[in-house]
Amino acid sequence: MKRQALDFLEPLEQRSRNVEVLDALATMVERSGLRIGDRLPPEVSLAATLGVGRSTIREALNRWEGLGIIRRRRGDGTYLVARVQTSRGLVPTMIRLEGEALLRLLEIRRTLENDVVRKATVRATPAEREEISRLCDLLLVEVDAGRAWRKADHAFHQAIYDASGNPMYGQILENLDHALERGAGSPFETDGFGLDSFPIHRDLADAIAAEDVAGAVESVNLLIDSVEGAVRVIIAGKKAE
């Protein structure tokens, strides 16, 4: 007889809300052989078996839901929708799961970004092309100075979304990014993450300014390739070369 998923859990020594709960759930999923489409044990059973409060389990599952690992169905239960495998190297399990979720997000972004830069390159007015180039200059100044660059990066990309003539692109892409919940101290949220992609922002801005559709599409794909590479380096536990 196949063992129940709860058989692979043991009470935690500390009643905490930290990564121990998340690691224990990942171990349970992997060792019990739960697959995509399978239902997780009820929250109350998980809490009782681990010896933590139900709110702690709910918080952990909220984190997984934010990473696109599970899906809750009202009145039916919680189902696994992404592969879960524990780390066996130096990288914590949750960092690797975050990275894998980010890779899934980048796959979606690639499709949308390809379309938006095509439209922006064709539709942008001279003033919008100039603004995109100006915002790229400001972004690269912040990056080169080692300052926080996320606000400038957002402004640059938002200008491209606006130039596409369809404001829904910016809304969808922003919502996608906000939907992916990252933990405190996540390596994917530091200002040092993805720095190799910034020179490519200049190529993208120049291609849009020159009305070069092929060049703009190539640049945005190279940009996403660079970010994907940075994610894979982190989840592999390697140092960037």
pLDDT for position 32: 92
Q: Are 226 and 194 in contact (CB under 8 A)?
A: yes
Name residue 150's amino acid: R
Tokens for 139? 């972004």
Spatial distance between the Cα atoms of 132 and 120, rounded to a whole number of angstroms: 10
CA atoms within 13 A on the CB side of 116: 24
What parts of the chain have a pLDDT lower than 50? 15-16, 240-241
Name residue 37's amino acid: G
Helix (H, G, I), strand (E, B) or coil at 80: strand
Q: Are 96 and 52 in contact (CB under 8 A)?
A: no
Residue owning tokens 């997000």: 105
pTM of this prediction?
0.80
pLDDT for position 78: 94
Measured from the Cβ of residue 146, the count of other Cβ atoms closer than 10 Å reads 10
| 175-212 confidence digits (pLDDT tens) | 887 767 666 678 888 888 999 999 999 999 999 999 99
pLDDT for position 94: 86
**For 70-226, where are the E strands, in sequence order?**
70-73, 77-80
Name all domains of the chain by residue range, CATH numbers in brackets: 5-80 (1.10.10.10), 93-235 (1.20.120.530)
Spatial distance between the Cα atoms of 200 and 198, rounded to a whole number of angstroms: 5
Q: Are 161 and 175 in contact (CB under 8 A)?
A: no
Residue owning tokens 């942008």: 124
